[in-house]
């Protein structure tokens, strides 16, 4: 019969970001680059972040892409902050 039908309702949600893990090499050669990436929890949460370096004299990080450039010998902390 042409009048037979079924309907279903679905709720669209945006998972709330609960965790960020940075994936980054242990070192980068002075004058070269390496890529920092993230893994987010839960898997489908928005992973938009801004990157920063604790000391831009030693290493700079592109705030949008996570590309880290070694500037001088030393140790820095690279941070990913959720937007």
What's the pTM?
0.82
Q: Which residues of 32-41 are buried (b: 16+ CB within 10 A; e: fewer)?
A: eebebebebe
Q: Are 66 and 60 in contact (CB under 8 A)?
A: no
Instruction: Quick: pLDDT tens for 15-51.
Output: 999 999 999 999 999 999 999 999 999 988 988 999 9
Whether pLDDT at 61 is above 90: yes
Whether pLDDT at 81 is above 90: yes
Rg from Cα positions in the chain = 20
């Amino acid at each position: 019969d042409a009048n037979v039908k079924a309907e279903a309702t679905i709720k669209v949600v945006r998972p709330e970001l609960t965790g960020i893990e940075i994936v980054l090499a242990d070192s980068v050669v002075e004058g070269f680059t390496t890529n920092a990436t993230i893994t987010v929890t839960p898997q489908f949460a928005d992973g938009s972040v801004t990157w920063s370096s604790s000391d831009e004299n030693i290493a700079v990080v592109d705030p949008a892409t996570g590309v880290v450039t070694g500037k001088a010998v030393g140790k820095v902390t690279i941070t990913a902050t959720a937007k």
